[in-house]
């Protein structure tokens, strides 16, 4: 047996502890250091942030390249943050046919470029110095604006979400259901950090934020009546997009005419090192479910757990580990189920554990 049999006990303890934590929960993007040079063709996806010591243009003419896949009609937001050096950092975006669709644009602070893509395929982001004469550092993030990004976290009404913009250019994205019969108040409260907390409201299908959007170094609130029933998006970032900040977010229904819609979220990211597989779950559900997970490798599938999952009305982040010898690509399947509807949310994550 290559899987640790002591997995269930710590997981049960974590689930019990989950019932005792405050309603607030952290919302985070996927932050990683850039790989060491040369950095060409580095994969990046919606919700990814590259920031760290390796995100540096070392030599005159040094160029770092990142690649993402997109469908024609998708709208993406690229954010580049200057992190120090003698000049500026610049960004260029190429389409799958190597045509420039965002010309070289430079910044000594934070730069946000949004583009609705016309071609399905792989897009290339190049990051370089302005003039290529110095050593400069940067941070880079990517976020899909439309359709709604896969990294968005659904949130319920009247439940505070505590979040951190932990890396420059990071963006936290949330969704909620808005009904045209209701009136809502959105409150973004700055809780610390070198820059303001900014919040942007997107209506269903919109690619530009509402004029109600704004930044704050204290607390910023706005009220609105949705023009249509649908899913609305809130994007939070640090002011200037070149530093970190922290915040608290809450959405309230001001009149008893807001429609409450059941929702759930289940996500998992994996990592592996020295015989240990780490599973980073994000879970949220506005109704009671059963939470299941299975580990699969080679031709084997092992059930990790099946436990009742009570209502969890703010995103909760649970990290679990299990021992696993190198087995090539391994995967974790996780589901939330109800007796009436079966699988209501699911996640599938895969990781290369090394040659057996």
Low-confidence ranges of the chain (pLDDT < 50): 1-27
Q: What is the pLDDT of residue 306?
A: 94
Residue range 32-146, CATH number: 2.60.120.380
**How far is it, in rounded angstroms, from Cα 241 to Cα 47?**
14
Question: Where along the chain do the CATH 2.60.40.2060 domains lie?
Answer: 8-21+263-352
**CATH fold group of domain 157-253:** Jelly Rolls (2.60.120)
Half-sphere exposure of 63 (CA within 13 A, CB side): 13
Q: Which two tokens stand for residue 38?
A: 């040369």
pTM for this entry: 0.75
The top-level CATH class assigned to 8-21+263-352 is mainly beta
Q: What is the pLDDT of residue 12?
A: 38
**Strand 48-57 versus strand 30-32 pairing type:** parallel
Q: What is the pLDDT of residue 153?
A: 82
Question: Where along the chain do the CATH 2.60.120.380 domains lie?
Answer: 32-146, 157-253
Tally of residues, the chain: 356
Among 155, 338, 337, 172, residue whose Cα is nearest residue 260 = 155
Q: Do 188 and 174 form a contact (C-beta atoms < 8 A)?
A: no
Q: What is the pLDDT of residue 261?
A: 77
Q: What is the pLDDT of residue 26?
A: 41
**How far is it, in rounded angstroms, from Cα 280 to Cα 270?**
6
């Amino acid at each position: 047996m290559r899987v640790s049999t002591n997995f269930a006990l710590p997981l049960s303890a974590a689930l019990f502890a989950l019932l005792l934590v405050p309603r607030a929960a952290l919302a985070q993007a996927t932050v990683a250091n850039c790989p060491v040079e040369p950095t060409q063709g580095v994969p990046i996806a919606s919700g990814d942030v590259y920031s760290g010591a390796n995100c540096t243009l070392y030599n005159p003419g040094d160029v770092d390249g990142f690649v993402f896949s997109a469908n024609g009609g998708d709208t993406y937001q690229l954010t580049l943050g200057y992190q120090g050096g003698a000049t500026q950092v610049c960004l260029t975006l190429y389409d799958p046919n190597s045509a420039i669709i965002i010309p070289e644009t430079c910044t000594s602070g934070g730069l946000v470029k949004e583009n609705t893509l016309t071609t399905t395929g792989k897009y290339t982001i190049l990051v370089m110095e302005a003039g290529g004469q110095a050593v400069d550092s940067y941070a880079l993030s990517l976020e899909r604006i439309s359709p709604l990004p896969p990294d968005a976290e659904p949130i319920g009404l009247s439940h505070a979400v505590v979040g951190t913009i932990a890396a420059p250019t990071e963006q936290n994205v949330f969704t909620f259901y808005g009904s045209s019969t209701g009136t809502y108040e959105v409150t973004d409260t700055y809780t610390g950090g070198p820059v303001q907390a900014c919040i942007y409201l997107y209506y269903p299908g919109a690619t530009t934020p509402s004029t109600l959007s704004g930044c704050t170094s204290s607390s910023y609130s706005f009220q609105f009546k949705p023009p249509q029933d649908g899913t609305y998006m809130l994007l939070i970032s640090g002011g200037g997009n070149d530093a970190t900040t922290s915040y608290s977010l809450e959405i309230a229904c001001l009149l008893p005419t807001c429609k409450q819609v059941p929702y759930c979220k289940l996500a998992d990211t994996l990592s592996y090192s020295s015989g240990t597989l780490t599973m980073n779950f994000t879970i949220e559900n506005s109704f009671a479910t059963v939470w299941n997970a299975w580990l699969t490798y080679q031709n084997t599938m092992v059930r990790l757990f099946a436990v009742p999952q009570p209502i969890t009305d703010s995103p909760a982040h649970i990290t679990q580990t299990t021992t696993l010898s190198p087995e090539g690509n391994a995967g974790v399947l996780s589901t939330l189920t109800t007796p009436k509807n079966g699988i209501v949310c699911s996640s599938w994550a895969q990781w290369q554990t090394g040659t057996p």
